Chains A and B, each alone.
Chain A
Amino acid sequence: MSRKAMTGNGAIALALKQAEPDVMSAYPITPQTEIAQNYAQFVADGAVKTEYIAVESEHSAMSAAIGSAAAGARTITATSSQGFALMWEMLFIAASLRLPITMPVITRALSGPINIHCDHSDSMGGRDCGWVQLYGEDAQEGYDNAIQAFRIAEHMDVRLPVMTMIDGFIISGAIGPLEVLQDDQVKQFVGPYEPIHPLLDIDNPVTVGAFDSLGGWYFEHKVTQNMAMDKAMSVIESVGREYGQLTGREYSHFKTHMIEDADIVLVAIGSAAGNVKTMVDRLRAGGVKVGMMKVRTFRPFPHLQVAGALAGARVIGVMDRSDSFGAQGGPLFTEIRSAMFEAPRRPQTFNFIYGLGGRDIFPDDIEGAVRLLEKAAAGEEISQKRYYLNVREVSLDGQA
């Protein structure tokens, strides 16, 4: 293992290079561009044997990936934002054909207004497309998740595509420390790829993507797809444990910090988890019984484990980097709130939406959220559940 300084994108491109899949089909889009560019360079330099398909759009990138995976090749792509949105219909097809494609998503806001900076509107919008979703906090987690994604996707009980997220610019473009495995360690961990019913097995021809309508088996296939998602839950854990034995960095569905005796728990996903952790430590020093949970697995959502871990909390503040228009709150909020519904002692839940379009989140914003949660923990009746952090001209008090 060696230590390097790399951007989040550089780290992910390196992970993909070390895994050396058969095919990459990708279209460059800010802030993912560096991954497509770096990987194309690896191919041009002969550093990998991967076939790089330069496509004309993300719809084509995912279509080519589907064709390639159905042919029997280990296949990857990568995207962001509008590119993710353009892949939309093909994302569902990749999942329903049970093709273990892996895809780093460098999260970025969706237009409009036009914005290229970080939030989770893209990946969270795709939370029901049937892909396993893993969120990373930093470049290291982006690197580690990109490697583990192959094992999770290709596991015979799962056979679902996996997307791994890091935050656009904040992580993708910032240079940070990275523990890097040796190429052969990654190759050994990822292992050989065994396709199911590959189209290129010409001795055993198959039909992929057949019509399956009224009177057919569409419904049964969808149920089977969700059964695979259920199975992914334990596979993600076992792969995370094995990765821990190799690297010393063990992964599960989420991480907690200072949660054991906490009255107040903040739940975060993505890069803001680091800021939240810093603030938890600072507020703890000031005597506030606050803890935090950083969510890694969003699909399948580990609702039972989450409910178990948060059982002691009186008040939960969920931080969402995307909004869900017309819903009770952001995507993470509705999952957490739903997970806690059956809890023996149901906590109060509040939603703090932050960082849309790359808006910064400051220590004061997080502290403000915790102060509001303290009031709820002290028994004050607060009917307003959804708040926006660091929105101009509207203070947190003004929203209540």
Chain B
Amino acid sequence: MSKKWKFSDIVKWGPGRHEPGATIPESGTAEQYETGGWRTERPIRDREKCNDCMICFFACPDSSIRVENGRLVDIDLKHCKGCGICAQVCPRDAIEMKNEIEARMEEGKKEEEKV
């Protein structure tokens, strides 16, 4: 059985030409599956209110709370599905769930302002 496996090899798959049991001989491949597009609500974190307690980090089912040096840096929107658990568990109400479409429109406005 092959030890290493390339994601691009998948196009050569077919009956009898893949690992038995649909096993992927590589770990952590979920990162390559971007589920951010499923989101209908986006978590917006208020940096002023947040004290980096990390409760949302432990609660997030998609490992989308990005932490560096003990500080909550930002939320990984490529993978966040918008479940809202982070907003629920936050003891300081520092995370607000915002309608995804509105959030995108606001983003667009900011881009325009920059131009």
Contacts and interface: CB of A to CB of B under 8 A. Distances in A.
B20 A224 contact: yes
Q: How large is the interface on B (under 10, 10 to 19, 20 to 34, 35 or more residues)?
A: 20 to 34
B34 to A, nearest CB: 13
B18 A217 contact: yes
Given A204-B3, A210-B29, A224 B24 contact: no
Given A207-B29, A224-B15, A212 B22 contact: yes
A159 interface: yes
B1 A196 contact: yes
A154 to B, nearest CB: 12
Q: How large is the interface on A (under 10, 10 to 19, 20 to 34, 35 or more residues)?
A: 20 to 34
B24 A223 contact: no
A221 B14 CA distance: 8
Q: Please classify the interface of chain A as helix (H, G, I), strand (E, B), loop, or mixed, using the class held by over half of its residues.
A: loop
A207 B23 contact: yes
Nearest to B14: A220
B6 to A, nearest CB: 14
B22 A96 contact: yes
A223 B3 CA distance: 23
A221 B23 CA distance: 10
Contact of A207 (B13, B16, B18, B27): B27
A346 to B, nearest CB: 32
Given A204-B25, A205-B26, A210-B24, A197 B18 contact: no
Interface of B: 1, 3, 10, 13-16, 18-30, 33
Given A197-B1, A204-B3, A211-B33, 12 more contacts: A159-B21, A196-B1, A196-B19, A205-B28, A207-B26, A207-B29, A208-B21, A209-B22, A220-B14, A220-B18, A224-B18, A227-B15
Interface of A: 96-99, 159, 196-197, 204-212, 217, 220-221, 223-224, 227-228
